[in-house]
Amino acid sequence: MSGELGRPGHGGETVGRHRLRGVLGQGGMGRLYLAEQNGIEGFTKVVALKQILPHLSDNPHFREMFLTEARIAARLEHPNIVATYELGEADGRYFISMEYLPGEDLALALAKAADAHPVPVDVAAALAQQSANGLHYAHELSDATGQAIGLVHRDVNPSNIIVTYYGMVKLLDFGIVKSAEGKRGQTVPGVFKGKYAYAAPEQLEGAGVDRTTDVFCLGIVLWECLTGRRLFHAATD
């Protein structure tokens, strides 16, 4: 997990074995921190630490969604997917420890590009290919019996694609995936999963989604890379 270090002021706060160093970002369900994991004999490791937002920590739906994210993420081991280290609990609140990646999300990179300077075709193709490799791995994931789990990310957009400074692409936020197993707690009625500008038609219609939904969303991202403009853009959702 990556991002520019945001609000400081968490240097003295600890979460379990982790000392918070700053805020990397915040979404609708959780807040992401830069943290140091402390071990014995002076061992430290820089990680990204995600905690469910305080006002949602007592909500059973969001709590189960957070736990589902951790369970699914723990299964995903691929070079193009951010690694998850640990699910823990401290002071009654859950946290997920993930790899910290020096880099920036694709949304930030695209925001810096003007219409006259879109992403070069070969670079855009490489970004899309690495993203597609990570998605394909997740789509093909099976359980211990060999049965397909049926993962669908449902939120493929530039903010969830990290480009590291050494050229790797990593997919983030499998927390709202849809899966054929363990559906309980993975959705909250009335809450749209994804971003409208990067959603497939079946998502907007509330119909069933599958792996092709993610491919469609990735196509929107690729179009934006190649043109330097948003495919679907309006003042409001």
Enzyme catalytic residues: 155
Cα of 106 vs its chain's centroid, Å: 12
Tokens of 80: 């193009």
Please, which residues have CB within 8 angstroms of residue 118's CB and are 6 or more apart in sequence?
A: 124, 225, 226, 227, 228
Collapsed DSSP state (helix, strand, coil) of residue 133: helix
Q: How many C-alpha atoms does 102 have within 13 Å on its Cβ side? A: 3
Tokens of 236: 């409001």
Residues in the chain: 237
The answer to whether the beta carbons of residues 101 and 157 sit under 8 Å apart is no
Question: Distances in Å between the alpha carbon of 229 and those of 36, 117, 136?
Answer: 38, 10, 26
34 closest CA partner among 55, 66, 70, 10: 10
- Phi first, then psi: what are they for 59, rounded to 5°? -85, 115
